[in-house]
Structure 1
Amino acid sequence: MSAKSGAGTYAPFASSDYRLLWSGTCLYFLAFVISMVAQAVIAYDLTGKNSAVGLVALCSGISLTIGSPIGGVLADRVDKRRLLVLSQLAIAALFVIVGTLMLSDLLTVALLAGMALLINLCSCVIMPARQAWSPATLPPEQAGDGAALQALAVTLMGLIGPFIGGLIIAVPFLGLGGAYLTLAGFMLVTVLLVLRTRAASPRPAAQAKPLADLQLGLIHVFTQPRLAVLMLSFYGVILAGSSYAVLLPGFIEDRLGRDASDVTWLMTMSGLGGLVSTGLVSLLPSSRQTTTLLAVGGMIMGVGLALVGGASSFGIAMAFMLVVGIGMGMVQLLNTALIMREAEPQYYGRVMSLVMLGWGINGVAALGLGLLADGIGAGRTLAVMGAVAVMIAAAMWAALRGLGARGEPTVRAQSTLSS
C-alpha cells in the first residue's frame, strides 16, 4: 500500500455519519479504559492484594477471550445499529449498578468481578460492530482510511484515558463511585450518537453459518503472513507490556508508600508518554521502516517497565512510566493501524474482534501475574515483563523483516493519522 497524503487520510471526516461513528468510538473506548483503571484501584482498596486485582482482570479477560470472536461474527452478520444501541445501554446500566454499590459501601470483590465479566461481555460486540459499520458511511475508496482512523481512536483513548480517569476520580464529590456514574453518562451519549447516524447498517447478501464465518475470519488473518505476524506480536506485546496496570496499585502502596489510588498519576504519565510518541512519529520523514519503529517501541516499553520495577521513589517511577508510555504509544499506534490496513473490508468486524481478543488474553494472564507479584514482589514481576516485551519486539522485527516490505505502509502514511 502506498503512502497517502494527509488530506486523503482524513477524507472520511467529510462524512457526517462517519464523524458521528468515530466520535462514539472515542467516547466508548475512553469509558472502557477508565473503567479498567478504576476497577483495579477498587479491587486493591477492598483487599490489599494483587491477586484480587488479577481476579477481577481475569473475569474481564475470560469474557473478552470467549466473546470477542463471537462478537466479530455477529458484527459482520446482524444490524449494527441495533447491536450497538442494546450493548451500550446494557453497559450504561451495569456502570450505574457498580457506581451505586460503591457509593453505598456494598461493593465486594466478587460483585466487582461479576460486573466486570458482564461489562466486557457486552463490549465484545461494540468495536467489531463499529469497525464493520464504518465502510457503509464512506465511499469504497475511503474504507481503508476509515478503518485506520477507527483504530487510531482506540489508540488515542487508550493513551489519554488514564489521565482523564485520574481527573474524574480526583474530583472530591465523585470519587470511584461517582466515576462509574459518569461513565454511564458517557455510554448514554454514545447511544445518542448511534441513533443520529443515518447510514444504513449493512447486511451480507448471503450468510453462512456463524462458525463458518468465524473460520473464514481466522483463515483471512492467519493465511496472510504479515497480518498473522502483526496480530500475534500484538498479542505478545499486550500480554507482556500492558498487564502492568494490574500490578501498579500494590507496587506503589507496598514499595513506594503511596495510596493505591495514586496509580492514576502513573497512568497519566504513561498517557502523556503515548501522546509524545504520537507527535514524534508524525514528525518523521517518509520512510518504509515502520516495522523497525514497531520493534523500537516495544523495546522502549520493555526497558521502561524494568526501570519502573526498580524505582526507589514515586517521582522516579513517574518518570519511567513516561518512557513506558512512549513505547506503548508507538506500538499501539502503528501495529493496530497496520493490522486494519492489511485486512479486507468485509472482514473488518472479525479482525477487530481478534484485536480485542488480545485485551482478553491480557486479562486472563492478570491473575497469574498478580499471584506472581504476591510471591516475588511487584517490582521483580515488572522487570520480568519488561524483559519478555523486549524479546517479543525483537522476534517481531526479525519475522517481518524476513517477510519483506511488500505492501507495508510508509511511516508518513501512518503518522498522518496522529498529526
Structure 2
Amino acid sequence: MRLFAIRDYRHLFSAQIIALFGTGLTTVALGLLAYDLAGPSAGLVLGTALTIKMVMYVMIAPLAAAYVDRLPRRMFLVGLDVVRAAVVLALPFITEIWHIYVLIGVLQTASAAFTPTFQAVIPDIVSDKAQYTRALSASQVAYTMESLLSPVLAAVALSFMTFNGLFLGTAVGFVLSAVLVLSTRIPNAHPSAHAKAWDRASAGIKTFFRTPRLRGVMALNLVVATAGSIVIVNTVNHVRDALGGSQVDVAWMLAASGGGTLLAALALPRVLDRVSDRTVMMTGAVVLVAGTIAAASLAATGELGWVGTAMIWFVVGAGMALIVTPTGRVLRGSVQPNEIPEVFAAQFSLSHLAWLITYPIAGWMGTNLGFTATWSVLAILAIVGAAAARFLWPHCDSFVPLSEPLVGEAWDTSATSDTGIAAGTLAECQCAVAHVS
C-alpha cells in the first residue's frame, strides 16, 4: 500500500492497466476482423499482422531506449497514446487485408516506443529499491490480469455488440491512459552513460549475451513464444473451424489460457520465497514443452475437442506465467541500478524477436499445412529452447552476475546487496566464469 500511496506511480500504474486492457481487447477484435475479411485464411492474416508487430518491437524498442533521454518523456508518452487511439479508431473502417498490415505497423511502432519508455520512468518515480521491486511485481500482475480478463470482457461485450465495438473501447482506453500520464510529474531522463547512440541502443543486448543467466532467459523467451503463438494465432481458426464455435467461444477459450496464467501467478510469490527463480522458470519450460507436445499429439489423432483444448490452453497459460513472472527479478538482480532501463529494453526487444520467429510459423504453416504439422514444429522449437536454457544458465549461476569480480578478486558483498544479488561463493563465481569462457 505504500507503493500505491505514491501519487505519480498510482496514476502511471492506472494508465498501464487501462492501456493493457485496451490492447487485450484489440487482440481479440483483430482476430475476429481477420476472420471476417479472410475466413479460413484468418490465421495467415493474423500471423502476418502479429509478425509486423514483432518486427516493430524488435527494431523500435532499442532505438527508443537510446533517444528517450533527449525527449520530454511525459509528452512523448501522451503523444504515443494519442497515436494508438487514432489507429484503433480507424481499424473498423478498413475493407482490405493490406489495410490491417499498414495500421498494425503504425500502432505497434507507437507501442514499441511506449513500453520501454514507460518502464524506464518507474525507477525515477519509485526511488526506494524495495518499493521498486514491488512495482515490477505489480506490473507483472497487471499483465497477468489482462491476459485473463480481456478475453472475458470481450466475451461479455460480444454478447450485445459486434467486434467493431471492441475497437472503440480500446480507443477510449488509450485516451484515458494519455490523460492519466498527463496528470503525472515525470522527470526527464538522466543522460545516458554512453555517448554514442549505437552504444546506448546496444548496451542492454550486450549485457544479455555476456551474462550466463540472461542467455538462459533468451532461450526461455523462445519456449514462451512457441506455446504462446499456438494460443494467440491459432485459437480463432481452431475454435471457429475445427470445433464449430462462435466469436464468444473464441474469447472464452483465450480466457482459459489466462486462467492458467492467473492461478500460477497467484501461487508464485510464496513459491519464490523458497525456490530459486531458475528452478521455477525451468519448470515452466517443461510445462510448456508438455503442452505443445500434447496439442500436436491430440491434433494428429483428431481428439482435440473442447475439453482437451481448454485443458491444454490452461496449462500453457500456467507455464508462461512460471517463466515470465520471475524474469523481472532475474533482470533486476543481474545489473547495476543505472543499467536497469537498458536491460529491460533489451529483454523487450529480444523476447519479441522470439515471437517474430514463432508467429509466422503458427500463422502461415497453420493455414497451409494444418495444425498437426505446425504444432509439431513449434513443439520441437520448445524442446530446443528448453534444452538451450538448461545449458546456457548453469545451476550454480543462481546468484553471480558476470559483472561481479572474477576469481581471486575481492568480493564486495555490500555492492551485491544494493542490487538485490545475494553474496556468492568462490565456487559459484568460478562456475559462472567457466560458462562465460
Q: CA deviation at 1:151?
A: 4.3
Q: 2:99 aligns with which of 102, 107, 111?
A: 111
When Rg is computed on C-alpha atoms for both structures, the one with the higher figure is 2
Change over 3 Å in CA distance of 1:62–1:139 after alignment to 2: closer
Change over 3 Å in CA distance of 1:73–1:188 after alignment to 2: same
Q: 1:95 aligns with which of 75, 78, 88?
A: 88
TM-score (norm. length: structure 2): 0.81
Change over 3 Å in CA distance of 1:27–1:341 after alignment to 2: farther
Residue 398 of structure 2: SS of its match in structure 1? coil
Q: CA deviation at 1:16?
A: 1.6
Q: CA deviation at 1:76?
A: 4.1
2:435 aligned residue: none
Residue 243 of structure 1: SS of its match in structure 2? helix
Change over 3 Å in CA distance of 1:157–1:110 after alignment to 2: farther
Matched-pair contact (CA < 8 Å) for 2:219–2:386: yes
Deviations 1:340-365 (A, max 9, x none): 44343333333333233223541454
1:381, 1:340 → 2: CA distance?
36
Q: More displaced, 296-305 or 155-164? A: 155-164
1:396 aligned residue: 389
Q: CA deviation at 1:285?
A: 7.0
Q: CA deviation at 1:275?
A: 0.8
Q: CA deviation at 1:22?
A: 1.9
Deviations 1:365-393 (A, max 9, x none): 42333222233312442243234324422
Matched-pair contact (CA < 8 Å) for 1:291–1:397: no
Matched, 1:279 2:266: yes
Q: CA deviation at 1:110?
A: 1.0
Matched-pair contact (CA < 8 Å) for 1:26–1:153: no
TM-score (norm. length: structure 1): 0.85
Quote the RMSD (CA, aligned, Å). 2.7
Q: CA deviation at 1:170?
A: 1.8
Matched-pair contact (CA < 8 Å) for 1:17–1:198: yes
Residue 3 of structure 2: SS of its match in structure 1? helix
2:407 aligned residue: none
Matched, 1:216 2:208: no
Matched, 1:42 2:30: no
Deviations 1:246-292 (A, max 9, x none): 12222223322224663212110000111111122234373243211
Q: CA deviation at 1:329?
A: 1.5
1:64 aligned residue: 57
Q: Note the 1:15-34 alignment, pairs <5 A.
A: 15-34=6-25
2:90, 2:72 → 1: CA distance?
28
Q: 2:378 aligns with which of 385, 402, 405?
A: 385
1:126 aligned residue: 114
1:171, 1:352 → 2: CA distance?
39
2:289 aligned residue: 302
1:238 aligned residue: 224
Q: 1:185 aligns with which of 172, 177, 181?
A: 172
Amino acid at match of 2:280: L
1:207, 1:299 → 2: CA distance?
39
Q: 2:215 aligns with which of 228, 232, 237?
A: 228
Q: CA deviation at 1:158?
A: 5.0
Q: How many residues align?
A: 394
1:195 aligned residue: 182
Q: CA deviation at 1:189?
A: 1.1
Change over 3 Å in CA distance of 1:212–1:129 after alignment to 2: same
Structure 2 segments unaligned to the other structure (5+ residues): 402-415, 421-437
Matched, 1:166 2:157: no
2:307 aligned residue: 315
Amino acid at match of 1:196: S
Q: 1:55 aligns with which of 35, 48, 58?
A: 48
> Which structure would you say has the larger RCO, counting Cα contacts within 8 Å and 6 or more residues apart?
1
Deviations 1:48-99 (A, max 9, x none): 2122222212221222222121122233442211110110110011111113
Amino acid at match of 1:213: R
Q: CA deviation at 1:40?
A: 2.4
Residue 124 of structure 1: SS of its match in structure 2? helix
Matched-pair contact (CA < 8 Å) for 1:96–1:184: yes
Residue 171 of structure 2: SS of its match in structure 1? helix
Matched-pair contact (CA < 8 Å) for 2:284–2:323: yes
Q: 1:335 aligns with which of 324, 327, 338?
A: 327
1:394, 1:259 → 2: CA distance?
38
Change over 3 Å in CA distance of 1:168–1:350 after alignment to 2: farther
Amino acid at match of 1:139: S
2:12, 2:400 → 1: CA distance?
28
Residue 160 of structure 2: SS of its match in structure 1? coil
Change over 3 Å in CA distance of 1:116–1:385 after alignment to 2: same
Q: CA deviation at 1:144?
A: 4.4
**Identity rate, percent:** 20
Amino acid at match of 1:323: V
Matched-pair contact (CA < 8 Å) for 1:72–1:349: yes
Q: CA deviation at 1:190?
A: 0.9
Matched, 1:356 2:348: yes
Change over 3 Å in CA distance of 1:287–1:241 after alignment to 2: same
Amino acid at match of 1:262: D
Deviations 1:385-409 (A, max 9, x none): 2343244224313432345222599
Change over 3 Å in CA distance of 1:363–1:169 after alignment to 2: farther
1:193, 1:346 → 2: CA distance?
27
Change over 3 Å in CA distance of 1:36–1:355 after alignment to 2: farther
